[in-house]
A and B are shown apart, each in its own frame.
Chain A
């Protein structure tokens, strides 16, 4: 059981989220991250592969053995990575529930 308290870094979260849809290579991950975050998280090659390296080291993603293009390796989410992503999503859902309880609404236009 992961007892971490810190939220995932945005780059980590979105890479895991991108891989939740299936195995992908770097370029596809980068495009998915941009799309999933509505353009708010944009990673260049160095940031992406730094994140991938950390995720591989932590065992949250794994390299897929065989791909068509030798220059592009595919990566997939591991069971631990999926668990970490689910935990993060649960934290987010709990936060949204708490926020809804505060009844935060945009201010009404005055007329």
Chain B
């Protein structure tokens, strides 16, 4: 149990220091309660997995909040990086037609995939309570 407690305490480092300092010990005690309550390895694994998702979502919420502008900029910056990489490869390997086709595909596919991924993460993060209200007035 103490091994699990130590790992969880380390994982709490993703949270803001003020939250950790004030409530870190209580979170660890509560996590131990949940592990104690878990019946068998599968339920214990579920407790760990939920803790991982929860901490990841909260860390992201605290990091970006609900700044959708940052998400859009991040998405398109990555897309631009993909496009530049494709053009670089086209010049390097001298297969312009093939590379150009791939580049166009990358411009279409990369933002879509990335936007889907970012949306998934942000949606999860928004479920975590950084604010007391469902939306700011």
Q: Does A pair with B?
A: yes
Tally inter-chain residue pairs, CB-CB below 8 A: 85
B128 touching A50, Cβ below 8 Å: yes
Residues of A within 8 A of B26 (CB): 26, 45, 49, 71-73
Asked if A45 and B129 sit within 8 Å, CB to CB, the answer is no
Choose among B54, B55, B136 the residue that contacts A6 (Cβ–Cβ < 8 A): B136
Name the CB-closest residue of A to B19: A53
B residues 12-56 touching A (CB-CB < 8 Å): 12, 15, 18-19, 22-23, 25-31, 33-34, 50-51, 54-55
Chain B residues within an 8 Å CB radius of A30: 30
Q: What range describes how many residues of B lie at the interface?
A: 20 to 34
Alpha-carbon gap, A45 to B108, bound state (A): 40
- CB of A45 within 8 A of CB of B134, answer no
Nearest Cβ in chain A — how far from B132, in angstroms?
5
Asked whether A7 is an interface residue with its Cβ less than 8 Å from the other chain, the reply is yes
Specify the chain A residue showing the minimal Cβ separation from B136: A6
Are A47 and B128 in contact, with the CB atoms below 8 A? yes
Binding site for B on A (CB under 8 A): 4-12, 26-27, 30, 42, 44-55, 58, 60, 71-73
- Subset of 8 A-B contacts with CB under 8 Å: A4-B133, A9-B134, A11-B129, A12-B129, A30-B30, A45-B28, A45-B31, A54-B132
Q: A12-B132, A49-B23, A53-B19 are in contact. List 5 more A-B contacts (CB 8 A).
A: A6-B133, A6-B135, A12-B133, A47-B128, A54-B132
B interface list, Cβ under 8 A from A: 12, 15, 18-19, 22-23, 25-31, 33-34, 50-51, 54-55, 58, 128-137
